[in-house]
Amino acid sequence: MFHCSQNPLLSHYPAMKQFKGFLFKLTLKFFVLNLRLLGLFPYCYNISKRTIRSSTLWYVYTVTFLLIYAIAIGFSNVATVKYVLVAHPQYNVFMLTISMINSYIGTMATYLTVVLYVTRFRNLLTQCIALWYTLRTKCTEDFDRKIFSRFLVKMVFIDGTSTIGAATIRAIQAFQRKQLSLLAEALSYVFSYSLNACTTNLFVAAAYLGGHYFRLINGRIYLLHQQLNDLEQHGHVWRLNHMKIHQLYDEIMDEMDQLVKLHDQVNQTILNFMQLHDITLIMLIIKNFGVIMQGIFIAYVSTVVELRLNQTPSLGTYGMVSFLAAFHFCQFYYLTSSALLYSKRGEKTGQIIDQIPRKRHFQHFDTKIESLSLELLHRSCKINVKGLFRIDLSLLYSSIATMTSYLIVSVQFQMTT
């Protein structure tokens, strides 16, 4: 009945629309390819039926990847802790160990969740695709440029540049020092950075997708709101007979009710996806927090210790640690900001409906609007993790405050010793 408005620039420049569509498909394929290579997407897409089906080949690949990771990374972490205890006793070994344990448990939880709940994830993905076609059937609006540009910047420039940059620096050091072990470490950096980025992107993409769906729903409700205002302002309602007026308002109420049901489907689908990965989210947040804290400690405290011992600070090592901390801070920021965007757009739906003026001469219409408004205003669109904390920017701010307090205590401790 009602359609979303189209961007006027795209209607005059079809080439621009085609280019953006191509860029969107390319980004989506690149994202799915990364997930598949890291064993996080054991599915195939059926184009004709528009459904997701499980792939035995990719499932076996995921299980194999899980076993290799469990054994290889487990031994590697133990060897790293032993090496640091002997060669670099000035490092905060406790925080390093905690960071490795969190990373290991978080990654294992991610793969085990994918393996054990492969059918549930397939159903959720199928629901997401069905919602995509349902919401965009009557909508000619361009895809969300704000969300797309943010995700593209993160995946290409932040994740890609960080991964290639860290590996390149380590590879250069390997050739300069003629140490093949550093070259192997450079390859491990590619894996570590890519895995962390792709795991974060999985949740960021889910939150952004839900936010995009909410934007489409909000756009259609806003158009209904605008049409009601136009009818009232220009007196078109009173030019119609009584039957036609009731038919018009019934159509608007039916469309509104359908959009509210779609809003609930979107919310349930995204929140169910997040709930399946509760443990992964907890470990991912703790890991980001721990790595950033570790970077602050090594970059500041260890440098002061070496200067007091009349030793030259290892700027290359501390630079890499600071670089790693900055990378994890970006992951932390995108995770919290995407969840906040999802919550804001979901809550905005109720606010838009609540702003629709009441019609005293249509009591049935007023009652329906009131009930839909109350239903949406009491519907939670917050991403909570096991009831422990809510993922939004307040989580990032509290973490920054904790890190600042830790740094202040470290400075005071250094000044008194």
Q: Is the dihedral of CA 370, 374, 375, 377 positive or negative?
A: positive
The domain spans of the chain are 21-36+144-416
pLDDT attached to residue 137: 74
Extract long-range pairs of 127-136: CB within 8 Å, 24+ residues apart. 127/265, 127/269, 128/209, 128/269, 129/50, 129/51, 129/52, 130/50, 131/213, 131/262, 131/265, 131/266, 131/269, 132/213, 133/50, 134/262, 135/213, 135/216, 135/217, 135/262, 136/216
Alpha helices (H) in 180-310, listed in sequence order: 180-233, 242-276, 278-297, 303-308
The larger pLDDT score, comparing residue 312 to residue 275, is at 275
Instruction: State the first-to-last Cα distance of the chain, in angstroms, to the nearest integer.
Output: 74
| Rounded Cα distance, 113 and 236, in Å | 56
What is the helix (H) or strand (E) element at residue 53, kind and residue range?
strand 51-54
| Rounded Cα distance, 158 and 128, in Å | 27
| Rounded Cα distance, 109 and 92, in Å | 26
Average pLDDT, the chain: 81
For residue 190 the two structure tokens come to 């590619």
For residue 210 the two structure tokens come to 């839900």
pLDDT attached to residue 1: 45
Helix (H, G, I), strand (E, B) or coil at 381: coil
Band of the pLDDT at 2, cuts 50, 70, 90? very low
| Rounded Cα distance, 327 and 101, in Å | 19
Could you tell me which of 315, 363, 326, 316 has the C-alpha nearest to residue 158?
A: 326
Q: Which of 21-35, 84-98, 104-118, 388-402 has the lowest mean pLDDT?
A: 84-98
| Rounded Cα distance, 299 and 90, in Å | 12
The DSSP call for residue 54 is E
Residues comprising the chain, all counted? 417
Q: Which of 24-38, 80-94, 331-345, 398-412 has the lowest mean pLDDT?
A: 80-94
Band of the pLDDT at 104, cuts 50, 70, 90? confident
**Number of C-alpha atoms within 13 angstroms, CB side, residue 381?**
26
Answer whether residue 61 shows pLDDT above 90. Answer: yes
